[in-house]
Chain A
Amino acid sequence: MDSNSLFYSLELVAGSGNTLNVEKRTALQTSLVILKKNYKFHRVLFWGKILGLKEDYFIAQGRGEDEMKDKKTLYSFNCMDWMLLAPATDSVIEEVSKTAKGSFVGDPSYVYEHVEIHRPGGRDDAIQEEVVTKVNEESRLAVTVHQIDEEASVVPRGAYLKSPHGLVQINRSFGGLSHSEAGKLDNFLHFSKAKNLKKKSILEMGDLNPAIDFLDVLSDDIPKGEGSWSLQLECASRVLVLRSLLWPGLTFFHLPTTPQHGHIYIGDGRKNLDLPFMI
């Protein structure tokens, strides 16, 4: 969620149970402003908190000219000293998904190991090679943040525009979704590179506006039919809250008829692979 709106938006997502205490909030407000100046970001977001066994990571994200591509992620333990996370590449993602299991420990230099035994040639008595993949927790953190952004970041339809040059920017004249629109899951879009757009039929594409509808709709997520999202009204039914069931801890809020929206992740950074059993 945007650092400018941090002081009131935390109340709106507190329905999921986790908030920040006053000390952390004030520390964040100060340090995020300094961060924005130092890194020359256009916008700084407080991305969320990943809970570890010993320590918790606070994550912030800075956005540049293009909202989707110019992203930098930083982490901190005390909301004051921020360290940059390396962007996640495909090879790192693969390594991490093989090795890292269990909860986050809280120590960025902790090393996860995974030993695989290869038998080249397929014969029984062949030489066994042990392939050891090591990944440290910092890369696991980067990969987790990247995955959550890919799969679970939400924006309301109309909040971002894609210019003909391909730049994705905030829509300054976004007035918010109306009450009836906000109740439908297909007015919310994933904020990541669209994968399903090409599969839509021409009939569906006719209604869409290419400047606004360049992202995937949430209702296309598998399991279908609102299986992996929970849409609720909170705070005396004034705020619309979307919670992800695939990444429990991700909460998106939107006040209908106002342009206020944002999402935050507070959780242990593990994907809920048991989702098909649970719904």
Chain B
Amino acid sequence: MESTDGNDAKSEQRLKSAAVLKSFMLKSSTESKLNLYDHLSRVLMKVMDEHPDNAVDVIEDVSREVKRGLFEDKQSTLRDLPQTTAAELLAEQQRLLFSRPEEADQEEELMDTPLPNVSEVAFYLEQAGVGLGREEMQRVFLALKQLVESQGLPRCRLWGKILGTESSYIVAEAEYREGEEEEESTEEAAEDEERDVEKEINPLPQSAYRPPPTVPKEALGTGANKFAFYVCKEPGLPWVKLPSVSPAQITGARQIRKFFTGTLDTPIVSYPPFPGNEANYLRAQIARISAGTQVSPQGFYQAGEEEGDEEDEAPRDSFEVNPDFEGVPVAEMAESLSTWVHHVQHILQQGCCTWVNLAVKPEDDSNEEGEGEEKEEEPDEPEPEVGPPLLTPLSQDAEMLNIPPWTSKMSSVLTSQHALAVLRSNLWPGAYSYASGKKFENIYVGWGLKYSGEGFSQAVPPLPQKEYPSGPEITEALDPSVEEEQVLKEALEEEQAAQEEKDDTDDPEEEDDDD
């Protein structure tokens, strides 16, 4: 009994000291938050799993490994969330630019392509000191190729880039496909149909105002709408077609001065109110810039052969590439402006390229006002507006605002044998043209605004109109004084008396004179 007691007591004591040791081992270290008990159990489990050779010799290394393993675990609970940057998003979209369709035949590519030689154009532009940088130009040209393929355009070229406050537009000029017609979806020409006036008792006064007749839009393929324009924000993003331009929009664009924002559907808040949103304003500015600054060496284009009798008023609309063009020496092109000609029609004051006689319209008007765009109000023939004909040399460009309209120079003075002639427009800052032998190109990179001289002064609102024409029924007259009334009364009584005598008094009625 005693021995078992003794044994019990000893084992109890052993258990107790084991418990004390265990609790000592479980105490977390103040420095590393580990405790010896867990660590040793992990080490022994690792030895159990791995069965290393000469375990007793490598036990310290095993212990260190276990500790290190613990630390890694703790640190990896927070990871950096990789944020997709804008660059990555764009790069995904631009990958498509570089994909080459497998079915493209070699032969097809050797034929006349709708695109010009892109690298050559980029090289010449860089020589001239204009352009978007080599890689960007390459991307733009690949995007143009994508446009041509997706839309099936007969011909296309890079028109330029218009900078905006939030983002910019890359503009491509293309010829219309044959048989393309005007889309009527976004027409704003809602007919003013007055609502039925239900109040027949007191009809509201009708305003006698008839808005002046609008100049009709030019047909696709003629005048300011000769080319279709596509824009995109960045190469690789989808191209959007701009609507065709109307003369009202061109005259509106001439009167306002606004930056582009970069989104096509921003409304243009301005005075006078611009008929359209930013897409229309953009198209109108593109039309004006093209008309003012697209030039070519003289002789490159010649007048088209379909002209029958040349009337004085019908401006030439067509031109063809001259097969006999030999190329003008570069020095001459840089010296004199008469070696360059405009090849886009000038836009008249009216807003279109061929003058439309609005005075013919008064037959439709019930008022027969015959308002033309000119000052004459009688239905006389208003003066037809004539612009300079197509293919006029630049030396005849008028000087505006005391500055010469063009500045020309050679691209390099040191190696002038291989230089280009570079022409820069002063009226539309950002429009450049270069020519070298038979090659030439125009480009516009800028804000899309004309040189405004000293300052832009906004149009003043017109004077308030009279509400109604003054006529006798509403003009105030002075009230008659008492004497005048008496005189009138006596005169009337005399008249009546005279009448009664004449009538032989058959009527017994007495007339009441109510004053």
CB within 8 Å of B: which residues of A? 10-12, 14-24, 51, 53-54, 78, 101-103, 179, 226, 230, 232-238, 243, 245, 248, 267-268, 273-274, 277-279
Contacts and interface: CB of A to CB of B under 8 A. Distances in A.
B367 interface: no
A230 B129 contact: no
A53 B126 contact: no
A19 B456 contact: no
Nearest to B161: A17
Nearest to B133: A14
A88 B413 CA distance: 32
B28 interface: no
A102 B129 contact: no
Given A277-B458, A279-B165, A103 B89 contact: no
* B94, B126, B163, B445 — most chain A CB neighbours (10 Å): B163
Contacts of B412: 21, 23
Given A17-B131, A51-B424, 11 more contacts: A10-B133, A11-B133, A16-B445, A17-B163, A19-B130, A21-B128, A232-B167, A233-B86, A236-B135, A237-B91, A277-B258
Contacts of A234: 136
B130 A102 contact: no
Interface of B: 83, 85-87, 89-91, 94, 126-136, 139, 161, 163-168, 234, 257-259, 401-404, 407, 411-415, 424, 426, 429-430, 445-447, 449, 452-456, 458
20 contacts: A14-B132, A16-B445, A18-B129, A20-B129, A21-B129, A22-B126, A24-B129, A53-B407, A54-B407, A102-B402, A102-B403, A102-B453, A232-B166, A236-B90, A237-B234, A238-B87, A267-B429, A274-B455, A274-B456, A278-B258
A150 B458 CA distance: 29
Contacts of B426: 53, 103
B408 to A, nearest CB: 10
Contact of A245 (B129, B165, B445): B165
A14 B133 CA distance: 5
B133 A21 contact: no
A17 B453 contact: no
Contacts of B94: 236
Given A11-B135, A102-B403, A21 B127 contact: yes
A237 B87 contact: yes
Contact of B133 (A235, A237, A268): A235
B146 to A, nearest CB: 16
Contacts of A274: 257, 452, 455-456
Nearest to B453: A102
* B161, B168, B401, B402 — most chain A CB neighbours (10 Å): B168
B456 A277 contact: yes
A230 B162 CA distance: 13
A278 B257 CA distance: 6
A278 B259 contact: yes
B26 to A, nearest CB: 45
Nearest to A10: B133
Contacts of A15: 132-133, 136, 161, 168
A53 B85 contact: no
A53 B259 contact: no
Contacts, number: 114
Return the 6 tightest CB-CB contacts between A and B, nearest first. Answer: A17-B445, A14-B133, A237-B87, A274-B456, A237-B86, A11-B133
Contacts of A237: 85-87, 89-91, 234
Contact of A235 (B126, B136, B258): B136
A101 to B, nearest CB: 6
A161 B127 CA distance: 39
A230 B452 CA distance: 21
A17 B136 contact: no
A179 B259 CA distance: 27
A21 B414 CA distance: 13
B92 to A, nearest CB: 11
Contacts of B168: 15, 232
Nearest to A105: B403
A256 to B, nearest CB: 8
Contacts of A14: 131-133, 136
A12 B257 contact: no
Nearest to B451: A103
Contacts of A17: 130-132, 161, 163, 430, 445-446
A166 B86 CA distance: 39
Contact of A279 (B167, B259, B424, B449): B259
Contact of B414 (A12, A23, A267): A23
A55 B395 CA distance: 19
Nearest to A243: B163
B129 A19 contact: yes
A189 B158 CA distance: 36
A245 B261 CA distance: 12
Contact of B413 (A22, A51, A78, A248): A78
A114 B446 CA distance: 32
Contacts of B402: 102
B101 to A, nearest CB: 23
B77 to A, nearest CB: 23
A136 B136 CA distance: 40
B165 A230 contact: yes
Contacts of A278: 257-259, 449
A54 B409 CA distance: 9
Contacts of A21: 126-129, 411-412
B407 A268 contact: no
A277 B268 CA distance: 12
Contacts of B166: 230, 232
B138 to A, nearest CB: 11
A236 B236 CA distance: 10
A54 B168 CA distance: 30
A184 B133 CA distance: 26
A20 B91 CA distance: 27
A84 to B, nearest CB: 23
B81 to A, nearest CB: 13
Contacts of B136: 14-15, 234-235
B330 to A, nearest CB: 15
A102 B192 CA distance: 46
Nearest to A103: B403
Contacts of B127: 21-22
Contacts of A236: 87, 90-91, 94, 135, 139, 234
Contacts of A102: 401-403, 453-454
B134 A11 contact: yes
